[in-house]
Amino acid sequence: MSDASTDMSSEVGRPAALDKRRSALAVGLPALGFIGLSTQVWASGTTGDVLSAGTVDVTGGGGAPGAVGLAVICIVSLLALMTGGPVIRGISSVVLTLSALGALVLALLVALRPEDAVAGALSEELARTTAPDANGATTVWGWAAVAVAGVLLAGCLAVAASSRRWAGLSARYERRAAAGPRGEVRTAWDELSEGADPTLGDGPERP
């Protein structure tokens, strides 16, 4: 009785695993949201450079272009997790988590140091090797991107943990193999070439 109660308590304390459909939402929605936010202005400021005038606006794609690519990698890694075998899932889990973490770090760098983003954007625009002095402030879109990146990282961690319990593709997508009369391996193609439909399980009779 004590063993049963212990098992039940461990199941209650363990977080519920996400299935593939919920995993797609947990990663896909924040990843797409983050990509959408990258088109907005994350930082805005001014510089004392005589060649620049007015306010300099820096979008997410301009201030942290690598973060957008990492969000795309999260989506690609999710697809690999949902369709690959155990080895592919293991590798994809690591790539998925590290990509989300990288996107969060890059977004934080822009949000916490907006003056560097403004100076970098201006130096790139003027084709200079050194960044001018600048001041800047993070916009609401920049902080929203940080929040969405945090949600993306949390979703990727949950999906990476849940993917250990997933099965691969449905059996109908896997190559069917059966033993022949002499022990040789027979595939679905062999049965099809002999006039039988392997999907109906009506392979030719063997002695």
Whether residue 140 sits in one domain with residue 81: yes
pLDDT in tens, the chain (207 residues): 445 444 444 444 455 678 888 889 999 999 999 999 999 999 988 776 555 556 788 899 988 989 999 999 999 999 988 888 888 888 999 999 999 999 999 999 999 988 888 877 776 666 555 555 678 889 999 999 999 999 999 999 999 888 887 765 544 444 444 444 554 555 555 666 666 665 565 545 554
Measure the CA–CA gap between 202 and 206, rounded to whole angstroms.
11
Whether residue 123 sits in one domain with residue 25: yes
Structure tokens given for 41: 């202005």
Whether residue 28 sits in one domain with residue 101: yes
Look at the chain and report how many structural domains it folds into.
2
Q: Give the closest residue to 149 by CA, choosing from 38, 22, 63, 31.
A: 31
Asked if 179 and 186 count as a contact pair (C-beta separation under 8 A), the reply is yes
Output the CA torsion 149→152→153→158 (10° steps): 170
Asked if the structure places residue 72 within a domain, the reply is yes
Measure the CA–CA gap between 154 and 101, rounded to whole angstroms.
9
Asked if the structure places residue 11 within a domain, the reply is no
Whether residue 182 sits in one domain with residue 152: no
- Domain range for 158 is 18-168
Whether residue 189 sits in one domain with residue 144: no
End-to-end Cα separation, the chain, in angstroms? 53
Backbone angles phi, psi at 44, to 5 degrees: -145, 140
Whether residue 100 sits in one domain with residue 31: yes
Structure tokens given for 74: 């999260």
The reported pLDDT for the residue numbered 197 is 61
Asked if the structure places residue 55 within a domain, the reply is yes
Whether residue 133 sits in one domain with residue 44: yes
Structure tokens given for 184: 């040789």
**Of the candidates 138, 153, 168, which is a domain's last residue?**
168
Measure the CA–CA gap between 62 and 107, rounded to whole angstroms.
11
Asked if the structure places residue 6 within a domain, the reply is no
Whether residue 189 sits in one domain with residue 111: no
Asked if the structure places residue 117 within a domain, the reply is yes
Structure tokens given for 147: 């929040």
Asked if 103 and 71 count as a contact pair (C-beta separation under 8 A), the reply is yes
The reported pLDDT for the residue numbered 201 is 53
Q: Is the pTM of this model over 0.85?
A: no
Q: Which residues does residue 138 pair with via DSSP β-bridges, in sequence order? A: 43
Whether residue 75 sits in one domain with residue 35: yes
Asked if the structure places residue 10 within a domain, the reply is no
Asked if 67 and 107 count as a contact pair (C-beta separation under 8 A), the reply is yes
Asked if 107 and 60 count as a contact pair (C-beta separation under 8 A), the reply is yes
The reported pLDDT for the residue numbered 17 is 76
Asked if the structure places residue 66 within a domain, the reply is yes
Measure the CA–CA gap between 143 and 152, rounded to whole angstroms.
14
Asked if 23 and 163 count as a contact pair (C-beta separation under 8 A), the reply is yes
Task: Supply the DSSP symbol for 204.
Answer: P
Asked if the structure places residue 195 within a domain, the reply is yes
Whether residue 200 sits in one domain with residue 106: no
Whether residue 195 sits in one domain with residue 121: no
Whether residue 150 sits in one domain with residue 59: yes
